């Protein structure tokens, strides 16, 4: 049955306004204990009191097989192995790029979904890599030993970067087959070397139609209640000898040390759950000056720029499915970030978070000034940090537009890569930017090839001309002069851009591949207009890179000092901000009240999917799903209490971007769901976390299994996962 969804959305948005008012109060009294724990902190946690039946060693043990061996990083997301032959479950939106790339041509797997009936039918996803954490060790002393008195901030940043690369390469040489990566845990203070199994042959196995995997679209994104089947299956492969290898028909499925056991029983309200995953970046230890910059500069600018790009690409794809598919992955990513940023901006404003952090910093400053030794060392610390963000604010119009020029326009992005590669590839390997080092070059070229595949000249005309208009309005010396030279033949950027794109070859892979291997001297002779434009702007981009590294070096040192004095002031240690390394978080399947007299229950059902269905995007449930529901073919995935198939779960764990695809485990370490989102109120989590309003959203494993098994008949995957009939 169908019903009008408009009134429900209006009611829910009204509740959100009230919810942010509640957040204003709760942020001030936020618990000091945050929930994204590095593996090094597991032994400090009282797991039984949190309802977890596993020990710290059963969760992570570099000397033995543990649950972590069944969890992996899938590009910028998380996934988990659910079979002994490398089958991975992650989110539909995490596999979206692979589905989109496979859809170009005669197949539209975004619309129809995809099911491989055998291993040979699984589709390569060359843009994807998978990592499995093997070990870690603190290398802070080694890294910081290169910092010498009298270094400029740029020199400091570059010295730390180069030393980190040296350590990574040395670790990889000592451990063939593993990938090494240095991560800064506390800015300017602690550095950890992580070692990973690194898999490069990843293939698409199963994906439901987009109308299931993205049911509700941007209307429901970041919202509860939710009814999205946001899951897909992929598989990792290795060379026949088990070593990491690029795609080959001779490769065999990867055999993980451990795979995760799926629980058909699922969870009930108030059950304990925990997640392992690779959350992106949080900013809970940043200052009020940073929050002010986010609130007044970065977030408003990003929201406006992304909305404009989304509108352009939406219009370009109307009536042309091929063009729509080309833009699909970028649009979904932009839409997700835009809505999250909107939630963060509203949260910052309504919670007055910058103001509250300034009050906390005033107390810290008083503590500093109460002791002459502390005052001598830390007295100007907060002012110095503020000065960095003030400089960023002043330069934001130029820097944002320069960055977006090479991001919004595919042609500019491709040209920038070619010009930058020509310069960087002339340097010794350790001195290159990371993307151009030998260890990363193959994957960088593959990503570039995907950008070329997604290039659409008519869309790029609007995006490139729009960004040029923005840059023309910025008085910025060399940039302004470079643009004047480029526009010498035309007053209107669109006229110039149309001529450039008519003559450029950056949309042709053979040309791009050839020119990506050229020297700067060869590029200087080119008559390709987009490459000429980027050659004109390249010195400014180099200045921007140096300025960013200078800031990084300065803030790294300053925030290192801030952590020192905060620990003295609070007389306690802190959990480091998330940084895309492996973390643990736990909580319970739990309802919440976002506004007065409003209670959100923690489980949604298949009946709710049908109730929301309108037959039009984004609520156009596939007919095969509706038919199975109407025939009451729910099978063993029916929950007795609900008399229905559970669809989504709500729980009070601490998550952020990068936790997408994280396995949701029950107390025994069995898979009961896949994390994919947060509630709108919780978008502020990146800046301040509180259990009272922090709610994450996952797809219930019973809905995953029902769709995979009953609706789409992928019995081989059900059997492979050991889910017995």
pLDDT digits (tens, 9 = 90+) for 319-364: 999 999 999 999 999 999 999 999 899 989 988 999 999 999 999 9
Q: What confidence tens digit (pLDDT) does each residue in 420-451 have?
A: 999 999 999 999 999 999 999 999 999 999 99
Residues 292, 275, single domain; the answer is: no
In the predicted model, what is the mean pLDDT of residues 255-280?
97
| In a shared domain, residues 604 and 547 | no
The reported pLDDT for the residue numbered 682 is: 84
The H helix count followed by the E strand count for the chain is: 26, 21
Whole-number average pLDDT of the chain: 91
The answer on 407 and 297 residing in a single domain is yes
**Range among 18-27, 157-166, 461-470, 678-687 with highest mean pLDDT value:** 157-166
357, 439: one domain: yes
Does residue 202 have a cis bond before it (omega within 30 degrees)? no
Q: Read off the pTM.
A: 0.91
Same domain, 581 and 642: yes
My answer on whether 552 and 589 are in the same domain is no
Q: Worst-scoring range by mean pLDDT, 188-202, 589-603, 624-638?
A: 589-603
39-48, 465-474, 484-493, 590-599: range with lowest mean pLDDT:
484-493
Give the sign of the dihedral formed by CA 225, CA 295, CA 333, CA 130: negative
113: left (phi over 0), alpha (psi -120 to 50) or beta: left
Residue appearing with tokens 């020509």: 422
Q: Chain-centre distance of CA 698, in angstroms? A: 16
- Look at residue 13 in the predicted model and tell me its pLDDT: 39
How many structural domains compose the chain? Answer: 3
The answer, yes or no, to whether residue 704 has pLDDT greater than 80, is yes
> CATH number for the domain including 602?
2.40.10.10
Q: Is residue 111 part of a domain?
A: no
CB 236 within 8 Å of CB 200: no
pLDDT at 33: 44
Mean pLDDT of 665-671: 98
Instruction: Give which of 445, 428, 429, 427 is closest to 437, Cα–Cα.
Output: 429
pLDDT-based confidence at residue 478 (cuts at 50, 70, 90): low
Average of pLDDT values for 289-301? Answer: 97
pLDDT at 235: 98
pLDDT(494) > 90 = no
In a domain, 206, yes or no: no
SS3 string, 503-558, reads: HCCCCCHHHHHHHCCCCHHHHCCCCCHHHHHHHHHHHHHHHHHHHHHHHHHHHHHH
pLDDT at 637: 97
* Residue 604 tokens, joined: 């949604």
Residues 552 and 601 in one domain: no
DSSP 222: T
Domain C-terminal end among 513, 528, 558 = 558
Q: Tell me, what's the pLDDT at 25?
A: 34
Confidence at residue 680, expressed as pLDDT on a 0 to 100 scale: 84
Note if the bond before 383 is cis, omega within 30 degrees.
no
pLDDT-derived band at 34 (thresholds 50, 70, 90) equals low
Q: Tell how far CA 607 is from the center of its chain.
A: 31
Q: Which of 513, 531, 558 is the endpoint of a domain?
A: 558
Cα 631 to Cα 31, 188, 474, 711: the distances in Å are 48, 61, 62, 12
* Residue 564 is assigned to a structural domain of this protein: no
Residue 213 within any structural domain of the chain: no
Same domain, 464 and 487: yes
Q: How far apart are CA 462 and CA 501, in angstroms?
A: 11
Domain extent, residue 371, equals: 288-558
pLDDT in the model for residue 256: 98
What pLDDT does 521 receive?
95
The answer to whether residue 97 is domain-embedded is no
137-162 burial: b if 16+ Cβ within 10 Å, else e: eebeebbbebbeeeeebbbbbbbbbe
Reduce the DSSP state of residue 675 to 3 states and report it: strand
In whole angstroms, what is the distance from residue 5 CA to residue 217 CA?
Answer: 13
Task: Please report the pLDDT score of residue 153 as a whole number.
Answer: 96
**Residue 276 pLDDT > 90:** yes
What is the spatial distance between Cα 13 and Cα 350, in angstroms, rounded to a whole number? 15
**Can you spell out the DSSP letters for 567-624?**
HHHHTS--PPPPBSS-EEEEEEB--EEEETTEEE-SEEEHHHHHHH--SSTTS---HH
Tens digit of pLDDT for each residue in 165-183?
999 999 999 999 899 999 9
- pLDDT tens for each residue of 350-406: 889 999 999 999 999 999 999 999 999 999 999 999 999 999 999 999 999 999 999
Mean pLDDT check: name the lowest of 25-39, 250-264, 270-284.
25-39
- Does some domain include residue 121? no
The answer to the question of residue 107 being in a domain is no
Higher-scoring residue by pLDDT: 20, 223: 223
Q: Of the ranges 43-47, 238-242, 479-483, 660-664, which one carries the lowest mean pLDDT score? A: 479-483
Domain co-membership, 83 together with 154? no
75 and 162 assigned to the same domain: no
CB neighbour list of residue 225: distance below 8 Å, 6 or more residues apart: 600, 601, 604, 608, 648
pLDDT > 50? residue 32: no
Instruction: Clarify whether residues 392 and 457 are in a common domain.
Output: yes
pLDDT at 21 over 90: no
Count of residues for the chain? 725
Q: Give the end of a domain, one of 155, 178, 198.
A: 198
Q: Of all helices (H) and strands (E), which one includes residue 355?
A: helix 353-369
Cα angle at 46 between 45 and 51, to 5 degrees? 120
Residue 119 counted as domain residue: no
The pLDDT, as a whole number, for residue 488 is 54
Q: Please say if the pLDDT value at position 486 is more than 70.
A: no
What tokens appear for 342 in the block? 């909107």
Choose between 379 and 5: higher pLDDT: 379
pLDDT at 74: 98
Instruction: Indicate if 545 and 612 belong to the same structural domain.
Output: no
């Amino acid at each position: 049955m169908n019903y009008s969804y408009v009134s429900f959305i209006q009611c829910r948005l009204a509740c959100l306004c009230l919810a942010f008012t509640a957040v204003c109060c709760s942020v001030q009294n936020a618990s000091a204990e945050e929930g994204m724990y590095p593996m090094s902190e597991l032994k400090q946690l009282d797991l039984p009191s949190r309802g977890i039946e596993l020990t710290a060693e059963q969760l992570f043990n570099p000397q033995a097989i543990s649950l972590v061996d069944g969890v992996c990083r899938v590009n910028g997301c998380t996934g988990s192995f659910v079979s002994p032959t490398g089958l991975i479950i992650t989110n539909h939106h995490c596999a979206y790029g692979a589905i989109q790339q496979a859809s170009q041509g005669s197949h539209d797997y975004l619309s129809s979904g995809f099911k491989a009936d055998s291993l040979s039918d699984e589709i390569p996803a060359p843009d994807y890599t998978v990592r499995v954490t093997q070990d870690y060790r603190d290398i802070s002393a080694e890294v910081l030993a290169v910092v010498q008195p009298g270094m400029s901030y740029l020199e400091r940043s570059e010295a730390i970067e180069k030393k980190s690369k040296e350590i990574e390469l040395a670790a990889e040489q000592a451990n063939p087959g593993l990938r090494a990566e240095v991560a800064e845990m506390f800015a300017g203070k602690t550095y950890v070397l992580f070692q990973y199994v690194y898999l490069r042959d990843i293939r698409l196995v199963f994906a439901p139609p987009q109308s299931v995997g993205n049911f509700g679209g941007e209307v429901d994104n970041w919202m509860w209640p939710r009814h999205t089947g946001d899951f897909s299956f992929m598989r990792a492969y290795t060379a026949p000898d088990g070593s990491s290898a690029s795609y080959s028909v001779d490769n065999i499925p990867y055999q993980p040390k451990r795979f995760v056991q799926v629980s058909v029983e699922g969870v009930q309200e108030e059950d304990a759950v925990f997640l392992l995953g690779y959350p992106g970046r949080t900013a809970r230890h940043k200052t009020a000056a940073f929050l002010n910059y986010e609130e007044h500069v970065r977030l408003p600018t990003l929201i406006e720029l992304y909305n404009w790009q989304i509108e352009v690409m939406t219009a370009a794809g109307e009536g042309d499915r091929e063009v729509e598919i080309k833009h699909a992955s970028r649009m979904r990513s932009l839409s997700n970030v835009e809505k999250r940023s909107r939630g963060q901006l509203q949260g910052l404003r309504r919670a007055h978070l910058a103001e509250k952090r300034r009050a906390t910093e005033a107390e810290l400053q008083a503590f500093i000034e109460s002791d002459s030794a502390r005052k001598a060392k830390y007295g100007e610390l907060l002012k110095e940090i503020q000065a960095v963000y003030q400089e960023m604010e002043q330069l934001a119009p130029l820097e944002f537009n320069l960055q977006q020029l090479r991001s919004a326009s595919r042609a500019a992005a491709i040209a920038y890569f070619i010009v930058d590669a020509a310069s960087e590839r002339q340097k010794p390997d350790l001195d290159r930017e990371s993307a151009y080092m030998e260890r990363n070059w193959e994957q960088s070229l593959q990503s570039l090839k995907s950008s070329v595949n997604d290039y659409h000249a008519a869309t790029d005309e609007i995006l490139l001309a729009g960004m040029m208009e923005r840059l023309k309005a910025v008085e910025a010396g060399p940039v302004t002069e470079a643009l004047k030279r480029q526009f010498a033949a035309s007053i209107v950027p669109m006229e110039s851009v149309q001529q450039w794109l008519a003559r450029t070859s950056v949309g042709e892979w053979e040309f791009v591949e050839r020119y990506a291997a050229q020297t700067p001297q060869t590029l200087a002779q080119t008559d390709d207009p987009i490459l000429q434009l980027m050659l004109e702007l390249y010195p400014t981009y180099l200045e921007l890179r140096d300025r960013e590294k200078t800031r990084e070096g300065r803030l790294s040192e300053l925030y290192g000092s801030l952590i020192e004095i905060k620990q003295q002031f609070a007389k306690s240690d802190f959990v480091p901000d998330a940084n895309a390394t492996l973390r643990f978080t736990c909580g319970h399947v739990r309802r919440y009240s976002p506004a007065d007299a409003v209670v959100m229950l923690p489980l949604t059902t298949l009946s709710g999917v049908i109730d929301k269905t309108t037959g039009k995007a984004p609520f156009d449930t596939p007919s095969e799903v509706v038919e199975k529901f109407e025939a009451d073919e729910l099978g063993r995935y029916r929950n007795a209490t609900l008399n229905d198939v559970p669809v989504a779960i709500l729980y009070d764990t601490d998550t952020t971007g990068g936790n997408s695809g994280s396995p949701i485990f029950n107390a025994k370490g069995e898979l009961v769901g896949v994390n994919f989102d947060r509630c709108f109120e919780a978008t502020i989590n990146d800046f301040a976390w509180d259990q009272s309003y922090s709610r994450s959203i996952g797809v219930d494993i019973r809905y995953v299994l029902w769709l995979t098994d009953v609706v789409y008949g992928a019995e081989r995957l059900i059997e492979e996962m050991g889910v017995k009939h």
